Chain A
Amino acid sequence: MPASKISKDDLKRHLSEKLTDYTLVGPVKSRLAYKFDVISNVDRLEIEYTTTVLPPKKQFMPTVEPLIRFQGDGTAQLPLIPTDRPVALVALHSCDLIATDLIDTIFATAPGDPYYKTRRENAVILGVRCMEPCDTHAFCNAMGTLDQKGGADIFLTPLDHHFLVEPLSKKGETFLAGAALSHSGDEDAQAVGRIANERDKQFRSQEKVDLKALSDAMTTSRDHEIWDELAGECLACGTCNITCPTCYCFDMCDKMELSLVDGERRRSWDSCQLREFAEVAGGENFRGTRADRQRHRFFRKGKYLFDRYDLTGCVGCGRCVRQCVADIDPLEVYQRLLERRSARV
């Protein structure tokens, strides 16, 4: 357990002081929900929050970003990503920390993505332990991401009047330099244990999803009736992809200025649930039905990424089901697939 703590006021004071060197990004209250936003006044920052609508991936991979700039003379250039001020990304829940690990893996795997890596390397990440379930949709406990620290540089655990503080990297230690840390004793560790115990009972499902078993179950579930059932409900709107912290698929298209000589090649978030996602120029569509696309979505979360990188593609944040008009719930899908598997065995 951590040996340091900081009072809640002192942490805010420290973050405020850091504004001179860092661009601070963290959860703020929006009209209807929380969102990650740039913060110039730490009073807006809500370190203890229920989860945001959009995941923090937008910090490293904006919804739309220029990859190439074209000049009038026909030459193309890379846009520069400013790194003069490091970014402090504050108060990521464990689900988002693990999701960040996954996208780090993919975008750092050779050939590495320069845009993502530049932003990522420029950021210090402060994680925060969840002391209660975000709501009735979250199932991070079932996916094994609850309490995980992932690639956080600092991990905070909120108690009544202070945070326990764990620096996890050199970057984290540098960020904490000068903070009013004090010693944290066993009683704090015990308090965390007590709260976590109570917290765990409040999740909607107490059962852990066995990730290996899920991947195996998917292998034999290509023809499962669930895909057609989901296809009957899914509106193919792509909201699940947009709100998912581990979805990173993108489209690339050119945008010219009115002059038609200068312009940009941009990438923007894309969604495998949209009909044209796997369609080729001749009109052939390799995932032409909603059932194909739902299966692809869930197999990607539960099987493809797990098989390739040994990381869960679903972190149980619950964002997709929270926003899904058709109430499609990944945990229910996983449980159905695992059920049939155990019925067969």
Chain B
Amino acid sequence: MSESITIPEQTLYLPIPTPVTAVRMLTKTECLITVELDPDRIEPYRPGQFFMLSLPGIGEAPISVCSPPEAYPRLQLCVRRVGKVTAHLHQLAVGSTIGIRGPMGNGVPLEQLKGQDLLIAAGGLGMVPLHALINHIVKNRADYGTVTVLYGAKEPGELLFRDELLQWGSRGDLNLHIAVNIADEDWMGHVGMITTLFQYVSVDVAKTAAVIVGPPVMYHFVMQEIRKLNLPPERIFLSLERRMKCGVGKCGHCQINEITVCQDGPVFSYDQLKTLPEAI
């Protein structure tokens, strides 16, 4: 990996034109965009960080890193079609160019996770940043203890990275539990909220860290289960979603109390969030 690059202040809001090398639909509403970053202008990224993606005339949107740091300078971004910018991102063709700013935010504290048992809980699109983390773990498996992944989705059709889920499940060194709220005819797995997967979880409190990413409503319920495990709050990490315009701590949209999610987050320890009203 290259050394950290000093981004000149003058280019704070300037998107770097970046070629799209692959586009693949993952579900009906999510597509996976692969781009090739310019290593002279964009520094390596970590799981939990995000990039501002933009198209001239359409606008800009914050999108989570989906590929592990090892993929750099390749970058994968999973985009759900929910608004104007994302609808246009879905129409990208291989060979086209998008604007990229980043990486932004703090990311998952990989150094702190090293040597720990890991409990990873992904709700819905929360699997996107965790896909980056899980792939990083898989590539550096010896650095971590027991790894348990809980993944909850609304329905089987919304499960992301299905081929990789199969691979992870058959590795033997990764405990993967998947739940869907509503099953279809073909679904043979667990049915229920992600919280019902905690019955399969047992942790060694002394050496376990948890990383949880999902929609705000999921945090309320998952945190109740996590609390029952008695993990210390400073070893529980959550990623917060917020409206963001600038990504550099200026525009005020992602402010919670005295912090800005884009600069101080988006990953926080539960210890930090406990004293941050409005956070979840």
Interface of A toward B, CB cutoff 8 Å: 67-68, 70, 74-78, 106-107, 109, 111-114, 117, 222, 248-254, 256, 260, 263, 265, 267, 270, 272, 277-282, 284, 286-287, 292, 296, 299-300, 303-305, 307-308
For B255, the chain A residues whose CB sits under 8 A away are 296, 300, 304
Q: A78: which B residues are within 8 A, CB to CB? A: 10-11, 13-14
Tell me how far the C-beta of B111 lies from the nearest C-beta in chain A, rounded to whole angstroms. Answer: 22
Q: Write out the residue numbers on chain B whose beta carbons fall within 8 Å of the beta carbon of A114.
A: 9-10, 12
Majority DSSP secondary structure for residues of B touching A? loop
Which of B58, B216, B245, B255 is the most central at the interface, judged by chain A CB atoms within 10 Å of its CB?
B255
Measured between C-beta atoms, what is the minimum distance from A139 to chain B in Å?
24
Contact of A260 among B57, B86, B241, B278 (CB under 8 A): B57
Q: With A78-B11, A304-B258 in contact, do A286 and B278 touch (Cβ < 8 Å)?
A: yes
Known A-B contacts A76-B17, A76-B99, A299-B257; the reply to A248 vs B12 at CB < 8 A is no
Query: Is the CB–CB distance between B82 and A282 below 8 Å?
Result: yes
- Measured in the bound complex, the distance between the Cα atoms of B277 and A68 in whole Å is 35
Report chain A residues within 8 Å CB of B10.
78, 114
Closest approach, in angstroms, between the C-beta of B245 and any C-beta of chain A? 5
Q: Are B215 and A284 in contact (CB under 8 A)?
A: yes
Nearest first, the 5 A-B pairs at minimum CB distance are: A249-B252, A70-B56, A256-B57, A281-B82, A308-B258
CB-defined contacts of B246 to chain A, threshold 8 Å: 250, 252, 267
Smallest beta-carbon distance A103→chain B, Å: 10
Inter-chain CA distance A272–B246, complex, in Å, is 15
Determine whether B249 belongs to the interface, using a CB cutoff of 8 Å to chain A: yes
Shortest distance from the beta carbon of A211 to any chain B beta carbon, whole Å: 14
Q: In whole Å, how far is B209's beta carbon from the nearest beta carbon of chain A?
A: 26
Within 8 A of A (CB), among B76-94: 80, 82-83, 86
Contacts of A303 in B (CB 8 A): 257-258
CB <8 Å contact, B215 and A250: no
Report yes or no: A277 in contact with B14, Cβ–Cβ below 8 A: no
Residues of chain B lying within 8 A (CB to CB) of residue A299? 257
Chain A's nearest CB lies how many Å from the CB of B6?
Answer: 11
Q: Mind listing 29 A-B residue pairs with CB under 8 Å?
A: A68-B15, A74-B97, A76-B14, A76-B17, A78-B11, A111-B248, A114-B12, A248-B250, A249-B253, A251-B245, A252-B13, A252-B59, A252-B246, A252-B251, A265-B13, A265-B59, A265-B60, A270-B251, A278-B242, A278-B243, A279-B243, A280-B241, A282-B82, A284-B215, A287-B278, A296-B255, A296-B278, A304-B255, A308-B258
Residue in chain A with minimal CB distance to B55: A254
Q: Which of B86, B252, B257, B258 has the largest count of A CB atoms less than 10 A from its CB?
A: B252
- Determine how close the nearest CB of chain B comes to the CB of A258; give it in whole angstroms: 12
Contacts of B245 in A (CB 8 A): 250-252, 267, 270
